[in-house]
Structure 1
């Protein structure tokens, strides 16, 4: 078995894995964690930028993205995988480094919740995903899996080189939670106002085929989750 990390003891950890040297050196309990397969790692990247902070259904699109990512994380923990997470918002990036076990997923859940609260506070613009994708390539080892939860407009052209590099030696999936307005828009025209200008526009359902084709060229798979898919 390979050493994964030495970290501070957390509630739920196995006391049999306490590391005597680190505990004596720091004065606080530390444990060693191990894993058998270096390739069984999952990195969650969740988008909390302003275009995600809206919704017409039961939850904001950002909340649904976080829930989808968390579900994948708990499934990975159940099979004994190593897990890390990145959140990207208008005010920067939050990171939880690689770790394992239930305490790791609790740390990730807390990070996502607190970063989402900060994102709802407003401020800042809508930075690209490039920095998060570059960070992801450093966190996720070759052979690992990366899940990116974002919206239909989350990927900008300047992000594509970083995404392609990330997918070169990793399995990358993009989870796309769609809002009811994107899957079943009203059939009648809606008024749209921009300052003093007013227009009528008819919304069309989101067509994911162009995005899927774009991602295939980058070696990234797409998973579309409709608003009523759970």
Structure 2
């Protein structure tokens, strides 16, 4: 359970707010071409399940594709041609570790990251694609296998809210401990990314929302994940990082106090390094997600 003091918009993440991000329905939405989640019919001919055309038999055609009706009607062999299936699979990776559970604007960085991922997920199911989820907090990651449709995104929203609630409650408990009982360092992302590789098939889109400090020691795992997949990293930046106050600030750790000024975070070196690993990188500024 989340304490009443934390049960406010921007601090607590709710499934309802993520479901409310669903875009209006559009006409002409693609529907899955097979029972396999995320399979859509492409324009190219191939071995899919959507009929492309019925045409006269040509040398090299598969006789198993003969169309009996057209053959009987014309007296000439005719075969069925099908669209090739393509995968439209999206994996969302949400980082709710302690370093994401802060914010100086209208919402915690973790909440803004979840909102950004939910928008991407809704876009995926609107195309007829599948969406899967990995959400990591201060414990074992929560995994949600790929599925399609609004029901899947409702399950994604519920899982995100549940993991965020648990992470927020643990962070509040840790903050109430004495300095001698402080919890250990947060787990790294590398093991989580290894699990993500098993959830994201080749050709899948992978979207990871985290902060600049959340990628320490994860370069090799990110590079492996990016092989054969389209990996997009969404760096969630707080107003204190993009436009820090000019005045000096007092910082107190429970034992000593210091004064200093915050410097604006420059994400460009990190973005260049990650692009060198094959990732697409974008910053999510405070105004991007509300």
- TM-score with structure 1 setting the length: 0.82
Counterpart of 2:201? 141
Counterpart of 1:26? none
Alignment equivalent of 2:235, drawn from 138, 151, 176? 176
- Quick one: distance in 2 between partners of 1:225 and 1:140? 23
Work out whether 1:2 is the aligned partner of 2:24: no
Counterpart of 1:45? 93
Work out whether 1:227 is the aligned partner of 2:286: yes
TM-superposed deviation, 1:2: 3.3
TM-superposed deviation, 1:137: 0.4
Q: Give the secondary-structure state (helix, strand or coil) at the position aligned to 1:106.
A: helix
Work out whether 1:92 is the aligned partner of 2:140: yes
TM-superposed deviation, 1:39: 2.2
RMSD: 1.5
Cα distance, 1:111–1:193 mapped onto 2, change above 3 Å: same
- Quick one: distance in 1 between partners of 2:91 and 2:255? 45
For structure 1, the 5+ residue unaligned runs are: 6-35
Q: For 1:127-206, what aligned pairs fall within 5 Å after superposition?
A: 127-157=187-217, 159-206=218-265
For structure 2, the 5+ residue unaligned runs are: 1-32, 38-83, 175-182
- Quick one: distance in 1 between partners of 2:211 and 2:236? 7
Q: For 1:8-23, what aligned pairs fall within 5 Å after superposition?
A: none
- Quick one: distance in 2 between partners of 1:42 and 1:229? 21
TM-superposed deviation, 1:166: 0.3
Q: Is the 8 A contact 1:175 1:224 kept in 2?
A: yes
- Quick one: distance in 1 between partners of 2:149 and 2:255? 55
Instruction: Tell me the matched-pair count.
Output: 199
